[in-house]
Structure 1
């Protein structure tokens, strides 16, 4: 079952719908295929964030599909996909068993493919790069956040769901896949640069998802900077960040830079637990369900360090990364440096289905501790700093202007603390 409490369904309506038909329709019993479709319908009915179901009568939607002949599982999956499409939400979707197992594997810390985190634009349905996974073929080829993938091996992505697109980018190790990508023009609204279409031929590889990279630097003034790059909130992230803080403190770190650039998110629970490693007290995030009911997660008084902290963010910082960045910013625990974040403020929950497939449902949205709804708008850093494209070996070096700005802010903060 999913991780969120779901509300009960009217038993009276359920019985009437299953056995008495609707209106003048004849009575009928459900086949195995119709039962699976009905199972999906019930979960969405209980948990989906929009109580209007995209301004349609969700009960009528169910009745319409139950009257369709469904003879095979493939037909049923197709019908479920069409039913869910009426919600207008690309994140609420069915995962057939193979795709569901692949998703569970990726969040456990293992992945094969080209290493791209992708999303569907909620307004025009185009496929958009959230961020490449660090060390992946996509990152090595230069794929960037906000790139729009037009086709995968000449198949237009407008015809594909998120999971179908991801499936096409997977394949045997060493095989290739060709992506046609539209890269946005200049970032400034007045820029005369035009979008550029490019083709990328990527060789599939096994991708290591060790989510943390660590570096220690001692400045001329004696300040010890502990640098932690967190690339994804997978099952390994909480333990890896805690160990990084411990190791850097042992080396003499008395200030930290947490790098969330191009971190597309992952497990919500991991984001919350990592926030608790930096916060002694305060709200971490509010979640808001379809009835406007607020729930919250708070710090537990078990922070691992009180040392000054700067957080690096950019347009590839999304979802759980934005929860962490927003919590640290609103609680005045850290200064944010870089660019405006991606702006994905919706929360999905996973539900197991009876045939081994899975259902992803948007169940809530989140707000930062200061009640900022960042969906589509993102989080604004305290100090905006532009950054030219960097090679992998240039991150957190003198060439990294965002990192250098963070180090300068930490130096000033520690100097003020010493004087006072």
Structure 2
């Protein structure tokens, strides 16, 4: 090799080395706050379901945001929220450290607060109560499903993120929080002063009903798909079976969802074989979760649903309906057919990112459509203490359906 060839080789090696150094030092070129933004951008870039990123140039947005002189974490969070807002997806959101910890606690089995499940109205985006937890301060105060929460401690909830609202309602046991409510059908507003308390999150309530039918009925109400939900539902089914239940009513009304895996595992308690749910990722690749042949109950089943039945609840309801395992009674479900995953950020914050959508076993995409029950029974909101009683029209209709099945 001549001197000229050797010089070209050395130059090429040097160029490769400099490029490698440049890649290695990208993070070092930014401030800590900018790196939080950069990592958030990377997570969405890799995982978000829509590879068009709501029809925008995602790389160009990155360059624009990283030119900002971000000096602290609060500025970084504001920039991340601005970035995520361009996706027009309320379920893809930033979780600040306290919010992230609270979310992890709420799916693990215990928290401290008012004990109120909340969501955003699909049409208006307004914060609303899904259901108070049984025995909670919110239930004792008289908060009802579909109540619109317009203020928390005097702060308007307009444009408030769901996680921010949840964070403001949580707090140390014995402290107070003020909720201002607009109740459907009423012109004025109600103000509730609620004392926070420790909330045990056993998501299951079960009873054997021997009065509504000629045969004993096992009633199982599931409030949330938390980490202990599958175990608690399995325990309830086994206990009711030993007590002589000849049919079951599974109440998923006002259940906002929770852990996807819990929804799948609970479906496996009822279904011996078949597909439970399909998932579709950004490439359009279809995945599925199947029954495993380990069902623990084969008696007739009716499932109660309403407009507060969402997400993992709809996965379970859809699996049971499409496999012919259960009759659905009540009202059309919420219609949340998107799946989120949680990702850690460097400063103990996190991102919830929509990574896939799901379809029921019959390939229904229920997002913003919901699931229509086999028997539609409209009903005004009732309290938890009225559920499963003679005041509960949907429950009585479910009892009738079990009678039809038995015959």
Common topology (TM > 0.5) = yes
Structure with larger Rg: 2
Q: Does the CA-based 8 Å contact 1:259-1:312 persist in structure 2?
A: yes
Within 2, Cα distance between the matches of 1:389 and 1:220? 21
User: Partner residue of 1:24?
Assistant: none
Matched, 1:208 2:200: yes
341, 362, 376: which is aligned to 2:333? 341
234, 251, 256: which is aligned to 2:243? 251
User: Partner residue of 2:350?
Assistant: 358
Matched, 1:314 2:300: no
Where 1:105 maps in the other structure, the secondary structure is helix
266, 277, 284: which is aligned to 1:292? 284
User: Partner residue of 1:147?
Assistant: 147
CA spacing shift, 1:60–1:370, aligned 2, 3 Å: same
Within 2, Cα distance between the matches of 1:233 and 1:116? 15
Deviation at 1:211, TM superposition (A): 0.9
Deviation at 1:198, TM superposition (A): 3.2
Q: Does the CA-based 8 Å contact 1:18-1:29 persist in structure 2?
A: no
Q: Does the CA-based 8 Å contact 2:279-2:357 persist in structure 1?
A: yes
Within 2, Cα distance between the matches of 1:221 and 1:146? 31
Within 2, Cα distance between the matches of 1:15 and 1:156? 50
User: Partner residue of 1:401?
Assistant: 393
TM-score (norm 1): 0.86
CA spacing shift, 1:59–1:220, aligned 2, 3 Å: closer
Where 2:373 maps in the other structure, the secondary structure is coil
User: Partner residue of 1:132?
Assistant: 132
CA spacing shift, 1:287–1:55, aligned 2, 3 Å: same
- Deviations along 1:69-116, one digit per CA (max 9) or x if unpaired, are 112122222221222122122211121222211111110011211222
**Where does 1:111-130 land on structure 2 (aligned, <5 Å)?**
111-121=111-121, 124-130=124-130
Q: Does the CA-based 8 Å contact 2:311-2:337 persist in structure 1?
A: yes
Q: Does the CA-based 8 Å contact 1:309-1:333 persist in structure 2?
A: yes
Q: Does the CA-based 8 Å contact 2:94-2:350 persist in structure 1?
A: yes
- Deviations along 1:3-42, one digit per CA (max 9) or x if unpaired, are xxxxxxxxxxx98996999xxxxx9922222222111111
User: Partner residue of 2:259?
Assistant: 267
CA spacing shift, 1:256–1:142, aligned 2, 3 Å: same
CA spacing shift, 1:221–1:401, aligned 2, 3 Å: closer
Matched, 1:303 2:302: no
CA spacing shift, 1:220–1:151, aligned 2, 3 Å: closer
Matched, 1:412 2:404: yes
State which drifts further: 262-271 or 69-78.
Answer: 69-78
State which drifts further: 134-143 or 227-236.
Answer: 134-143
- Deviations along 1:239-280, one digit per CA (max 9) or x if unpaired, are 111111111111111211111111111100000000000001
Deviation at 1:308, TM superposition (A): 0.3
- Deviations along 1:129-162, one digit per CA (max 9) or x if unpaired, are 3333333222333434443322212211124222
Where 2:236 maps in the other structure, the secondary structure is helix
User: Partner residue of 1:189?
Assistant: none
**Where does 1:196-235 land on structure 2 (aligned, <5 Å)?**
197-218=189-210, 222-235=214-227
Structure 1 residue ranges without an equivalent (≥5): 1-13, 22-26, 186-193, 416-420
Within 2, Cα distance between the matches of 1:52 and 1:195? 44
Within 2, Cα distance between the matches of 1:303 and 1:316? 27
Q: Does the CA-based 8 Å contact 2:212-2:399 persist in structure 1?
A: no
Structure 2 residue ranges without an equivalent (≥5): 1-18
Deviation at 1:372, TM superposition (A): 1.5
Q: Does the CA-based 8 Å contact 1:177-1:204 persist in structure 2?
A: yes
Q: Does the CA-based 8 Å contact 1:169-1:177 persist in structure 2?
A: yes
Q: Does the CA-based 8 Å contact 2:129-2:149 persist in structure 1?
A: yes
Deviation at 1:355, TM superposition (A): 2.1
Please identify runs of 4+ aligned residues in structure 1 that moved more than 4 A: 14-21, 121-124, 219-222
CA spacing shift, 1:196–1:293, aligned 2, 3 Å: farther
Where 1:158 maps in the other structure, the secondary structure is coil
Within 2, Cα distance between the matches of 1:202 and 1:342? 28
User: Partner residue of 1:102?
Assistant: 102
TM-score (norm 2): 0.89
Within 2, Cα distance between the matches of 1:16 and 1:309? 63
CA spacing shift, 1:198–1:17, aligned 2, 3 Å: farther
User: Partner residue of 1:4?
Assistant: none
State which drifts further: 322-331 or 72-81.
Answer: 72-81
